[in-house]
């Protein structure tokens, strides 16, 4: 295949056959109980050096409690898919967990920009659309997928995409490699103990990433009975056999919100965005993550029931979220 142009980024690429082999040997087909604590899930399933992806953003239905647990366990050398992300990149880099970032949207706040400028984390350039498309290719079991964009830009130059001549039209077309993360974190509205999961509202690539990833950790607001899924199969976002761990974490998206359940806590989010240097970062990490045992303790000591009640109260819109 004649390559007209090649982006220079390093890519984390898994041969589709190697991914299949992983699925064959590691993914249980039968329903087994996968309920565990966040400590157990992250300890068992996230390894140093893993490629990490997650669904939605710090503001809405992001897997924030799981991300905090990764930081708490001081995982190292993670490669992060910064798709549509806001402050996760900053926290994961500031805590020394992440060393590489595939950039879709790297988040606001000045901290992350600064550490990138200082060369303390390696970044590779993609876009929200191309990372989502790479995930789709990963879920379709194909090594790459063509795109009509990235073309003509420095984004392409600093990505891992290739440009070839399309054999059907003769035009140049961009090919992006499949993405098969090692770990996918997703926070959902409802799950059962086997891992069946429901999201209400939109998602970035929940099913794509669950299918494309070697290890999938679901945290949920609510545990429901497995029979519920079989009554309304159209509502199933992720079937159990893609999932490796289920963690029951009410308010697990805090300080972000979960549609129909609770609103985001902008005050806390501003606190994270206000971090400008390592010292402030360490203070935040110490206070909200390292010194806190787990998510329940975090809610109890660092948020408080009164605040949570207020966030629930603010989530007045319930339409469509059931």
Rule CB under 8 A: which of 160-199 touch other proteins? Answer: 163, 166, 171-174, 196
Cβ atoms of 142 and 175 within 8 Å: the answer is no
**Residue 141 burial (CB < 10 Å; 0-12/13-18/19+)?**
middle
Which of 69, 88, 125, 221 lies at the binding interface for other proteins (CB under 8 A)?
125
**Tokens standing for residue 174:** 């961009």
152 binds its own copies (CB under 8 A): no
Which of 180, 255, 215, 131 is closest to 19 using CA atoms? 180
CA distance 90 to 110: 9
Q: 294 φ, ψ to 5°?
A: -160, -175
**Tokens standing for residue 207:** 């099913």
CA distance 154 to 160: 12
Query: Which residues are within 8 A (CB) of 160 and not within 5 positions of it... i.e. 6 or more apart?
Result: 7, 8, 9, 10, 11, 13, 124, 176, 177
Query: Which residues are within 8 A (CB) of 316 and not within 5 positions of it... i.e. 6 or more apart?
Result: none
13 binds its own copies (CB under 8 A): yes
**In whole angstroms, how far apart are CA 157 and each of 1, 6, 102, 124, 154?**
19, 7, 14, 10, 5
Which of 175, 220, 257, 292 lies at the binding interface for other proteins (CB under 8 A)?
257
The region of 36-44, 65-73, 101-109, 138-146 touching its own copies under the rule CB under 8 A is: 138-146
152 binds other proteins (CB under 8 A): yes
Residue number, 76 or 158, with CB nearest to other proteins: 158
Q: How far is the CB of 271 from its own copies (least distance, A)?
A: 33
Residue number, 58 or 95, with CB nearest to other proteins: 58
Q: How far is the CB of 201 from other proteins (least distance, A)?
A: 6
**In whole angstroms, how far apart are CA 66 and each of 21, 125, 173?**
27, 25, 38
283 binds other proteins (CB under 8 A): no
Cβ atoms of 256 and 62 within 8 Å: the answer is yes
167 binds its own copies (CB under 8 A): yes
Residue number, 96 or 141, with CB nearest to other proteins: 141
272 binds other proteins (CB under 8 A): no
- CA 309 to chain CA mean position, Å: 27
**Residue 3 burial (CB < 10 Å; 0-12/13-18/19+)?**
exposed
47 binds its own copies (CB under 8 A): no
281 binds other proteins (CB under 8 A): no
Residue number, 152 or 304, with CB nearest to its own copies: 152
267 binds other proteins (CB under 8 A): no
The region of 52-60, 182-190, 281-289, 301-309 touching other proteins under the rule CB under 8 A is: 52-60
Q: How far is the CB of 196 from other proteins (least distance, A)?
A: 6
21 binds its own copies (CB under 8 A): no
227 binds its own copies (CB under 8 A): no
Cβ atoms of 44 and 232 within 8 Å: the answer is no
Q: Which of residues 84-103 bind other proteins (CB under 8 A)?
A: 84, 86, 103
| # residues near its own copies by CB under 8 A | 34
Could you tell which of other proteins, its own copies, none binds residue 2, using a CB distance below 5 to 8 A set by kind? its own copies
141 binds its own copies (CB under 8 A): yes
CA distance 311 to 163: 48
Which residues of the shown chain bind its own copies in the complex (CB under 8 A)? 1-3, 13, 15-16, 141-148, 162, 164-169, 171, 173, 175, 177-178, 200-201, 231-234, 319-320
């Amino acid at each position: 295949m004649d390559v007209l142009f090649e982006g220079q980024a390093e890519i984390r690429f898994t041969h589709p056959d190697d991914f299949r082999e992983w699925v064959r040997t590691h993914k249980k087909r039968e329903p087994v109980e996968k309920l565990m604590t966040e400590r157990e899930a992250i300890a068992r399933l996230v390894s140093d050096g893993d490629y990490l992806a997650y669904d939605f953003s710090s503001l809405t239905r992001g897997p924030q409690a799981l991300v905090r647990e990764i930081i708490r366990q001081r995982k190292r050398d993670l490669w992060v898919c910064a798709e549509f992300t806001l402050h996760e990149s900053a926290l994961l880099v500031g805590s020394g967990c992440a060393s590489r970032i595939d950039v879709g949207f790297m988040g606001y706040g000045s901290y992350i920009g600064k550490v990138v400028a200082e060369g303390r984390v390696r970044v590779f350039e993609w876009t929200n659309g191309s990372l989502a498309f790479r995930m789709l290719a990963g879920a379709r079991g194909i090594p790459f997928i063509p795109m009509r964009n990235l073309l003509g830009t420095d984004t392409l130059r600093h990505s891992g995409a290739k440009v070839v001549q399309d054999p059907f039209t003769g035009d140049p077309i961009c090919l992006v490699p499949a993405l098969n993360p090692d770990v996918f974190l997703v926070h959902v509205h409802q799950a059962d103990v086997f891992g069946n999961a429901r999201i209400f509202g939109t998602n970035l690539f929940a099913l794509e990433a669950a299918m494309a990833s070697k290890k999938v950790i679901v945290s949920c607001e609510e545990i429901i009975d497995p029979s519920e899924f079989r009554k309304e199969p159209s509502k199933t976002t992720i079937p159990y056999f893609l999932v490796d761990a289920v963690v029951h974490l009410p308010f697990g998206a805090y300080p972000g919100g979960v549609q129909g359940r609770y609103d985001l806590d902008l005050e806390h989010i501003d606190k994270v965005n206000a971090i400008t240097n390592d010292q402030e970062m360490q203070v935040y990490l110490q206070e909200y993550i390292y010194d806190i045992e787990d998510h329940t303790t975090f809610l109890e000591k660092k948020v408080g029931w009164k605040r949570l009640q207020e966030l629930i109260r603010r989530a007045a819109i319930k339409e469509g979220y059931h």
